[in-house]
Structure 1
Amino acid sequence: MPTRVTPDIEGPAGLDALFAAVAGEPVVALAVSGGADSLALMLLAQRWAAQREAAPRLVVYSVDHGLRPEAAAEVAMVVEAAHGLGLAARGLAWLGEKPQTGVQEAARSARYQLMGAAMAEDGATVLLTAHHQQDQAETVLMRLAHGSGIEGLRGMAAMAEVEGIRVYRPLLSIDPAALRAVVEAAGLVPAKDPSNADRHYERVRWRQAMPQLADLGLDAAALSLFADRMAEADAAISQMADGCFAEIVRLDGFGAARIELAPFVGLSPAISTRLLGRVLNIVGGRQKPRALGQVERLRRTIAEQGLAKATTVLGCVIRVKDGAVAVAREPGRALPSDAVLMPHGELVWDERFRIVNASPEADLTASVAEYLPRHRLEEFLGFKITAPAEAIRTAPIVRDASGGVLSLGGWSFDERIKVQLLID
């Protein structure tokens, strides 16, 4: 059975390999809780920066979630240890009332919000976290149990966007035992969070099951290698689906899509599901981009049974007509309220259109088009309209203070407004 060898994390070459992806950043933030893994991240990042002539400035953040009395002292320990290494550091606190349920998820969101705000103040462009090989293995097992497809089974990506923050995970291939050894050698005593042993949490239950799985050959290294191979397969499917998207999908100015039925049905299920998911994501306002089961069921119905009547999925109305799958935004479902366009500002409308006010005027308003007679539209636009009625009703329209129409959907009729349909 192929196994993964934990990379060298002590020598200069090993450190350069770990942090190469962020070597060109001006300021790099580190999320350090005080546990062994994050303390190791701080130590390794400091050693890496110290050996470089032009290294990013490192800044350490540690968050007190206000959930345990020991947390304040743990944050103080992290800040002191960081200062001892010559690093900038500060503690952050999650204040206010805490939810009665979903505490971990709420704490995670608050943590990223606090660090994101701190990064903006400090000029940091990327946040380093200490997720390691064991974390990756647990993530893969949880997603496998939840029925994830290949996209989910690739596990955590080394570089990702989380809660609007650019995050880099340099330790995903590292055995946590190696990280603990780094901390012990430095003479630091890591904090211990009792929630890491609380079986109320699914991740903890998988963590406690890992020794039994390892006895059968399914250890963290094997699962991490599996995640890498799933990532390669996922990239291949994405590449093929993107090529097919360019060939058989047409998006119009109202944000509706048309998928040619015959070539769509002829694709392999993995590729057609990925393509269909991307279309629903674009047209539906990116409501649930990972709702794989719903996309799979819709693809199967279209390909194997045909779609006898219109159906709604993920904020979209889907129907098969004239040899194509027509997809339009579902009216009345979480559509945005009227929004004033700030002078020389922009807004992302319904997660589908980027609308830019290129003027100094402050009285331009974007809203839902609602009902516009098709014949009036054709007179206005100068061509025949074939888009579904739902697409017309849910398109954005920009008006000035006198009610004049400056743009509709992706069409701009005035130099003050620029509109772009978002397809990625």
Structure 2
Amino acid sequence: MDVAGQAPVALAVSGGGDSLALAWLARHWRRNLLALVVDHGLRPESGAEAQLTLERLHAMDVPARLLTLIGLTKGPAMAARARTARYARMVQACQQEGCVDLLLGHQADDQAETAWMRANAGSGPDGLAGMGWISHTPDVRLVRPLLAVSRTALRNTLRQAGLAWVDDPSNQDMRAERVRVRAALQQSHLSEQFWCMAMDAGCARMARDRAQAASLARRCVFFPQGWVGLGATLPEPAVLSGLIRSVGGQQYPPAPAAVARLCQKGGAGGTLAGTRLARWRDEWFVIREQAAVAAPVVASPGALWDSRFVLHAPSALLRCGVYVGAAGYGLERRVRAGWPALFCASLPALWWQGQIVAVPHLGWCRTAEWAGAFFEFKPPVSVTGLGVYGCKKGHDGNYIGPAD
């Protein structure tokens, strides 16, 4: 229900059948909505399609906002780059509007396709769970309420309501893996089988997440510097995998086989997915690998560096020429506050006129004026999933399921 003064619920609406059905259904649930329509500019007709979608949303009495992507070009990995840019722009809009939830139009057939692709790619058990009904990110909660509803059912809903939608021609491009998988599932009539597999894998994933969270709480120490102390012995590979993803600022965990090989090295340690497994004072630590950190970025309030650290500092402090980069190996022992140089090399630091002026995580700054800056460790994905996966597969009146 709507509450006075509450931020709207955001919807990602491309204008296609799935997202437009999401908007139509959401309008029968809440009034305080905000549809986000992204014009990616990759096709000549994308602008006109975005305007048409805005008109259709207006006719539904759904408030909408147009978001235009600038600088996105065709080329290698275009779909992935467009998806990343689209989500980043929508998350930014959610932050501006105070939206906590962003509803997405992924449906049951999308889930079956995802499960097929991940099975073919040899994904681990977490990957086979597919997309989460609820996924937590540092900035917004992603909600997919249509994962049990088929593509056919959603379009039938729109037809019954007398509503039209936009068909993206890229959905017919057989060069795309998902399009090929979609065609294969339609021919094999296996959509529901893969959907059910994802639901079972999702339930198992949530059970593992709970167990891993309990294990982390018992044995691991999380440092604001982005390090994790593991104690005298290594945790099981599944737990270590989540730690590597978080410390490395990755969206996805490393391959299970690679984590298993790292654990088998025993006392040798090693590197994986931008992190280093290091031993210090008879304990294991997961730290960031200095050679893998991101390039420097201009220092501005809220600047994100290395996909993990958010800068908080007064605007007046961040004068022209100040940037954020890795501290490197040149820190004096007294500055490192007792921590090894290996650990400190990947810490975020403020640089100005070619020299480090502050390493907030070590409580050090060259002069007092830089003391007002600090970095918040904010990895893109939490160590444990914290998402909602799977569902009860009972065929009741509210269940439709994927269509073959």
Identify the TM-score tier after normalising by the shorter chain.
Answer: 0.7 to 0.9
CA-CA distance at 1:175 after TM superposition? 1.9
Match of 2:166 in 1: 191
CA-CA distance at 1:235 after TM superposition? 2.2
Match of 2:387 in 1: none
Match of 2:240 in 1: 276
Match of 1:290 in 2: 252
Match of 1:299 in 2: 260
TM-score (norm 2): 0.74
Match of 1:32 in 2: 13
Matched, 1:394 2:375: no
Cα distance change of structure 1 residues 69 and 253 upon mapping to structure 2, 3 Å threshold: closer
Aligned-partner Cα distance in 1 for 2:161–2:146? 18
Cα distance change of structure 1 residues 246 and 115 upon mapping to structure 2, 3 Å threshold: closer
Matched, 1:224 2:186: no
Cα distance change of structure 1 residues 23 and 48 upon mapping to structure 2, 3 Å threshold: farther
Match of 1:315 in 2: 274
Match of 2:402 in 1: none
Matched, 1:333 2:333: no
Aligned-partner Cα distance in 2 for 1:66–1:410? 45
Match of 1:15 in 2: none
Aligned-partner Cα distance in 2 for 1:230–1:200? 29
Cα distance change of structure 1 residues 358 and 37 upon mapping to structure 2, 3 Å threshold: closer
Q: What is the CA deviation profile of residues 126-148 of structure 1, one whole-angstrom value per residue up to 9, with x for unaligned ones?
A: 33222111111111111111122
Cα distance change of structure 1 residues 151 and 411 upon mapping to structure 2, 3 Å threshold: farther
5 Å-filtered alignment, 1:159-308, equals 159-160=134-135, 166-214=141-189, 218-220=190-192, 222-251=193-222, 255-262=226-233, 264=234, 272-284=236-248, 286=249, 288-293=250-255, 296-303=257-264, 305-308=265-268
5 Å-filtered alignment, 1:11-160, equals 26-49=7-30, 55-56=31-32, 58-89=33-64, 91-94=66-69, 98-116=73-91, 119=94, 124-160=99-135
CA-CA distance at 1:273 after TM superposition? 2.0
Verify the 8 A CA contact 1:133 1:174 in the aligned structure 2.
yes
Stretches of structure 2 that go unaligned for 5 or more consecutive residues are 383-404
Q: What is the CA deviation profile of residues 32-78 of structure 1, one whole-angstrom value per residue up to 9, with x for unaligned ones?
A: 333322222222122223xxxxx41x333444444445544543432
Match of 1:12 in 2: none
Match of 1:52 in 2: none
Verify the 8 A CA contact 1:358 1:418 in the aligned structure 2.
no
CA-CA distance at 1:87 after TM superposition? 2.7
Question: Could you tell which deviates more after superposition, 411-420 or 171-180?
Answer: 411-420
CA-CA distance at 1:197 after TM superposition? 2.2
Aligned-partner Cα distance in 2 for 1:419–1:70? 42
Query: 2:28 aligns to what SS in structure 1?
Result: helix
Question: Could you tell which deviates more after superposition, 107-116 or 181-190?
Answer: 107-116
Match of 1:3 in 2: none
Query: 1:299 aligns to what SS in structure 2?
Result: helix
CA-CA distance at 1:339 after TM superposition? 6.1
Query: 1:167 aligns to what SS in structure 2?
Result: strand
Aligned-partner Cα distance in 2 for 1:89–1:225? 35
Q: What is the CA deviation profile of residues 163-202 of structure 1, one whole-angstrom value per residue up to 9, with x for unaligned ones?
A: 9654322211112222122111112233333322221111
**Aligned residue type for 1:330:** E
Aligned-partner Cα distance in 2 for 1:201–1:228? 25
**Aligned residue type for 1:235:** M
Verify the 8 A CA contact 1:137 1:224 in the aligned structure 2.
yes
Verify the 8 A CA contact 1:276 1:299 in the aligned structure 2.
no
Q: What is the CA deviation profile of residues 259-290 of structure 1, one whole-angstrom value per residue up to 9, with x for unaligned ones?
A: 3354x3xx6xxxx2232123323443x1x342
Cα distance change of structure 1 residues 102 and 21 upon mapping to structure 2, 3 Å threshold: farther
Cα distance change of structure 1 residues 279 and 183 upon mapping to structure 2, 3 Å threshold: closer
Aligned-partner Cα distance in 2 for 1:321–1:237? 29
Aligned-partner Cα distance in 2 for 1:94–1:404? 35
CA-CA distance at 1:31 after TM superposition? 2.9
Aligned-partner Cα distance in 1 for 2:211–2:222? 19
Verify the 8 A CA contact 1:365 1:398 in the aligned structure 2.
yes
Q: What is the CA deviation profile of residues 296-333 of structure 1, one whole-angstrom value per residue up to 9, with x for unaligned ones?
A: 42433434x5344x532222233457754343332343
Matched, 1:371 2:321: no
Aligned-partner Cα distance in 2 for 1:299–1:181? 47
Query: 1:259 aligns to what SS in structure 2?
Result: strand
Stretches of structure 1 that go unaligned for 5 or more consecutive residues are 1-19, 50-54
**Aligned residue type for 1:306:** G
Query: 2:122 aligns to what SS in structure 1?
Result: coil
Verify the 8 A CA contact 2:293 2:346 in the aligned structure 1.
no
**Aligned residue type for 1:47:** H
Match of 2:386 in 1: none
**Aligned residue type for 1:277:** S
Aligned-partner Cα distance in 2 for 1:48–1:73? 29
Query: 1:192 aligns to what SS in structure 2?
Result: coil
Q: What is the CA deviation profile of residues 4-29 of structure 1, one whole-angstrom value per residue up to 9, with x for unaligned ones?
A: xxxxxxxxxxxxxxxx7999953233
Q: How many residues align?
A: 372
Instruction: Give RMSD over aligned pairs.
Output: 4.0
Match of 2:385 in 1: none
TM-score (norm 1): 0.71
**Aligned residue type for 1:281:** R
Report the structure number with the largest CA radius of gyration.
1
Verify the 8 A CA contact 2:296 2:323 in the aligned structure 1.
no
Cα distance change of structure 1 residues 210 and 93 upon mapping to structure 2, 3 Å threshold: same
Query: 1:318 aligns to what SS in structure 2?
Result: strand
**Aligned residue type for 1:300:** R
**Aligned residue type for 1:39:** L
